[in-house]
Structure 1
C-alpha cells in the first residue's frame, strides 16, 4: 500500500468512525425526543425522498468517479470531462427537483417534505465523484466530518421533544446540502472553465445507465420496505423497524470497512491476471469477516434485552423481538458486499452485481406487499432477510463457478458454536442485572472475551493464525 492510498484510507477511516460514533450518541437522544411515531415518520419521508435523489444522481456517483480517474493526469481533459458530467448532472437534478416540488403540493406532511427538499437540490451540487476520481479523499472526508459534527451539535441544542421533528429533518437535510456545496470551494484550483456541448454531455447517458441500474436496486432494497410498511401499517412500526435495522447494520459497519480497503488491491490482481492469488486472498478476507459478523450476530441477540430500554426508551421495547430476527443481516450484508467489492466489481462483472441487487429488491418488495397486511412488521423483516439471502446466493454461485473459492464449513460451524456458547454465557452471567448502560458494557465485555477464548480453544481463531504465520 503506497503512501497516497494509506492516507486516503486514513481519511476514510476517520469519516467512517464519525459515522459510527455519532449515531451511538444521537440515536438514544432522538429516539427519546421524537418517539417511535416521529422517528417512523422521518424514516418514511426519507424513503420517499431517496427515490428522487436516485433519479437526480443517475449513477453519477460511481460512473463519474471512473470517468474522472481516466483523465485526471491532464488538467485540460479533466476540466472538459468535469463540465460534461456536471451539465449532464444538472439536467437530471434540476428536472427531478422541479418534479419533487410539484409532488409536495399533493402530499401530507408538506413541511417535512419541504425541509427535505435541500437533499434533492443537493444532487445538483454534489461533486464528490470528482474528488473521489482524482483520489483527493482528504477534502471529502474532513468536510463531511466537520458537517456531521456541526449537525450533531445542532441536534443536541435544538431537538428536545416531538414538536421538534421539523427541526430535526431540517438539520439532517441541510447537513447533506452543505456537505455537497462545500466541495465547490476547492474546485477552482483543480479545473479551469471549458465550454462543452449538450451533445458531449448527453453522450454519458447510456454508459451511466449501467451504474444507475445498480443504484436503483440498492436504493429500492434499502427504502422500499420502509415505504410499504408506512403505507400499510403505522409510522410507529416504521420507527421500530428502522431503528432495529440501524442498530444491526451499525454494529457490523466496522467489519464492512474491510471491503473498501481491498478494492484497489483486488483490481490490481485482476489486471495482472493472478486469479489463484486473488481467490486465496478472498477466502481469507471472507472467512475473517464471517468470524467477526457471526460473533456480532450472537452478541446483538445477547445484549438486546438489557439494552433497548435505556438506549431507545420504552416506546421501542418491541425491538427486543425484532432485533434478534434481523441480526442475521450482519452476516448476510458483509458476505454479499465482500463478494461484490472484492470480486465482481474488480472483475468488471456488473451484470451479476446489478441482477443480484435488483432481484433481491423485487423479492423483498413482493414479500412486503404479501406479508405485511397479515403479520405487520414481521412481514417486513422476512421480506428484508429473504431479499438478502437471494443476493448472497446470486453472488456466491458465480464466485464458486468461476473460481476455486471454497467455504471452510468446519471453521464456520465452530464460529457458530462459539457464538452460541458466548450467548449462553452473556445471558447466564447477567440475567439478574438491571437494564442499564453499565450492564450493556459488562455484556459486551463478556462476549468479546469469551468468543475470543472459545475460538482459540476450538483452534479456529483467524487472528491467532495470522500471528503464528508471522
Structure 2
C-alpha cells in the first residue's frame, strides 16, 4: 500500500483542526446553556460510559489497527482478521452494555445524574458498529475526513440552533448519542461494501489474550482520569467533577491535534517492522518523534499561558467556570506527558508486542495514583487541581519505567530525551514570561489571548529560523510544495 504519510497527515490534520474549531464555537453555547450542575451530570455520564467502553471495545482500536496493518496486503487474511475481531467486540459490547445498565440501576438509581448516564450508555451499544480502526489501518483517511466533517457540521448546527437553556439538556444528550450512532454506522456500511466478512478459519483464542493486555495499555489516560473524576464526585461533588471535565475537554481538543502525527504513522510503523527491517522502522520513528515534539511542547506550554482566557471564553465571558482555570493549567503539563507516553507505549512497546509487560507498568501507575489521591484525602488537600497533579506524577513514573523497558529489554537505540528532541521544550519555556507580561498589562480577555498566541508563535518561528532547525525547514518545504501543486492545478482549471 503506497499511500503517502504526508497526505494522510494532511487529511487527519484537516479533520482534527475541524474538530477543534467546531467545539470552540459550540462548547461555550452548551456550557452557558446547561450551567455547571448539569455539566457535572454530563461529566459523570462520560466518566462511567468511558470506563465501561474500555471493556466493551476490548482494546480493538490499538490491537485491530496493528493486526490489520500487518495483513492488509493479503486479502484472505485481511477478511479473516477483520471478521474475527468484529465478532469478538460484538460479544464484549453486548455483555458490557447489559452489565452497565444493571450497574447503574443497582448503585446509582438515586443519583441526580442517573438518567443522563443511562442515555449516554447507548454509546456503548453503538460501539458495536465502530470500525474506524479498519479505515485507519487501511489508511482511508479521505473517507474518514469527509464523513466525519459532514456528521459534525450537522451535529453542531443542531446544537447551536436548539440548545439554548437548561430545558434543552435532554435534547442535547439525545442528539449527542444519535450523532454518534450515525457516525459509526456510516463507517460500518462503507467497510462492508469494500470488504466482505469471511467466516472460514476464524481465530478467537489467538486474539483474546493480547487484546486483554491492550484494554489496560491503550486506556491509561482514561483509567487515570476516570479515577480522578469519580473520587472528586464522591468526596466533593458532581459540580466540581464538572469543572475537572471542562478542563479535560479543552486539553483534549488541543491534544487530539497533536496526536495526528502519531495516529497516522502507527499503521505504517507496524507494517515496516513486520515486513521490512528494524532499521527502516527506527529511521521513520526518529523522524516522527522530532516532528511530534516540534508541535507538542509549544502547544502544551502555550495552553498553560492562556488557561484563564480560554476558560472565560468557553464560559461566554462569565465567571461560572473560573474554578477550572488552575485545573486546566495542570492539565496542560499533563498533556505533555501524555504525548511522550504515546511515543514510548504506542509506537515502540506496543508495536514490538510487549503490551503485556507495559500493562503491568500502567497498573503500577494506577495504584500509585490511587495512593497519592488517598494521601490528599488524609491531609485534607484533596481538590480537583491537586488530583490531576497526582495523576501527572503517576504518569511520569510510568514513563520512566516504560523508557527503561525500551532501553534494557527491547534494546532499541533511540534517544528520546536527547537535546535534539527536547530543545523544542526549552524554546517553548520562553512563552511563560511572555504570556505573564501580556496578561498583566492587557485586560481584555480575547485581545490578550490573541496577543499571547501571535507573539509566542512569532518568537518560536524566529528561533526555529535563526537556529536553522532541520525538521522545521523540511516541513516548510513540504507545505510549500503542496501549495505549489494545488496552485498549478487551480491555474489549469
TM-score interval (norm. to shorter): 0.7 to 0.9
Q: Note if 1:186 corresponds to 2:190.
A: yes
Secondary structure of 2:351 counterpart:
helix
Q: CA offsets, 1:96-144, max 9 Å, x none?
A: 2222223333323332123113201112222334444444344444323
1:389 aligned partner:
396
Aligned residue number for residue 343 of structure 1: 348
Q: Which of 243, 247, 252 is equivalent to 2:246?
A: 243
Specify which of 343, 359, 364 is matched with residue 354 of structure 1.
359
Deviation of 1:253 (Å): 3.3
Cα contact 1:286–1:335 (8 A) shared by 2: no
CA-to-aligned-CA distance 1:249-296 (integer Å, 9 cap, x gap): 433433332222433454455353344x65565455434444433323
Q: Residues 423 and 447 of structure 1 are in contact (CA less than 8 Å); yes or no, is this contact kept in structure 2?
A: no
Alpha-carbon separation, structure 1, partners of 2:264 and 2:360: 24
1:146 equivalent in alignment to 2:150:
yes
Q: Distance in 1 between matches of 2:191 and 2:427?
A: 52
SS at match of 2:194: coil
| SS class of match (1:166) | helix
- For residues 443 and 271 of structure 2, the distance between their equivalents in structure 1, rounded to whole angstroms, comes to 52
Equivalent residue number for residue 170 of structure 1 = 174
Match of 1:378 in 2: 385
1:433 aligns with 2:435: no
Q: Is the 8 A contact 1:306 1:435 kept in 2?
A: no
Change (3 A) 1:18 1:362: farther
In structure 2, the residue matched to 1:127 is 131
Corresponding residue number in structure 2 for 1:115: 119
Where do residues 261-300 of structure 1 align in structure 2 (5 Å cutoff)?
261-267=264-270, 270-271=273-274, 272-275=276-279, 279=282, 282-283=285-286, 285-300=288-303
Q: Secondary structure at the match of 2:441?
A: coil
CA–CA distance in 2 between the matches of 1:243 and 1:112? 17
CA-CA distance at 1:156 after TM superposition: 0.9
The aligned counterpart of 1:102 is: 102
Q: 1:14 touches 1:141 (CA, 8 Å); kept in 2?
A: yes
1:45 aligns with 2:45: yes
CA contact (8 A) 1:353 1:395 kept: yes
| Cα distance change on mapping 1:87 and 1:320 into 2, 3 Å | closer
* Contact 2:247 2:325 (C-alpha < 8 Å) held by counterparts: no
Partner of 2:311: 308
> SS at 2:414's partner residue?
coil
Aligned to 2:484: none
TM-score (norm 1): 0.86
Please tell me whether the aligned partners of residues 221 and 357 of structure 1 are also in contact (alpha carbons under 8 angstroms).
Answer: no
CA distance in 2, matches of 1:265, 1:352: 23
TM-score w.r.t. the length of structure 2 is 0.82
Q: How does 1:200-215 map to 2 (within 5 A)?
A: 201=204, 204-215=207-218
CA distance, structure 2, for counterparts of residue 285 and residue 8 of structure 1: 14
- The 10-residue stretch of structure 1 (423-432 or 231-240) with the greater mean CA deviation from structure 2: 423-432
Secondary structure at the counterpart of residue 347 of structure 1: coil
The Cα shift of 1:47 comes to: 0.8
Residue 23 of structure 1 pairs with residue 23 of structure 2: yes
CA drift of 1:380 comes to 1.3
Contact 1:144 1:179 in 2 (8 A): yes
Distance 2:199 2:269 in 1: 37
Shift in alpha-carbon separation, 1:359–1:264, aligned structure 2, 3 A:
same
Is 1:398 aligned to residue 405 of structure 2?
Answer: yes
C-alpha contact 2:216 2:362 (8 A) present in aligned 1: no
Distance in 2, matches of 1:96 and 1:177, equals 17
Q: 2:91 and 2:475 mapped to 1: Cα distance?
A: 54
Unaligned runs of 5+ residues in structure 2 are 479-493
User: Over the residues paired in the alignment, what is the CA RMSD in angstroms?
Assistant: 3.4
CA distance in 1 between counterparts of 2:146 and 2:191 reads: 15
Aligned partners of 1:211 and 1:53: how far apart in 2? Answer: 13
Alpha-carbon displacement from aligned partner over 1:351-386 (angstroms, at most 9, x marks no partner): 344334333333223323432562221331222211
Count the aligned residue pairs: 467
Separation in structure 2 between the aligned mates of residue 413 and residue 117 of structure 1, nearest angstrom:
41
Gap regions ≥5 residues in structure 1 = none
Q: Which moved more, 1:148-157 or 1:215-224?
A: 215-224
| Greater Cα offset, 201-210 or 84-93 | 201-210
Tell me the distance in 1 between the aligned counterparts of 2:477 and 2:311. Answer: 41
Once the two structures are superposed, residues 197-224 of structure 1 have per-residue CA deviations (whole angstroms, 9 ceiling, x without a partner) of: 9x85566433432333324545312422
What whole-Å deviation, never above 9, does each CA across 1:47-83 have from its counterpart, x for those lacking one?
A: 1112222222222333334454565566665555544
Note closer, same or farther for the CA distance 1:346–1:372 as it changes in structure 2 (3 Å cut): same
Q: Please give the alpha-carbon distance, in whole angstroms, between the structure 2 residues aligned to 1:131 and 1:295.
A: 30
Q: Give me the whole-angstrom Cα distance separating, in 1, the residues matched to 2:404 and 2:342.
A: 14
Contact 1:49 1:120 in 2 (8 A): yes
Aligned-pair CA distance for 1:417: 5.2
Deviation at 1:437, TM superposition (A): 2.0
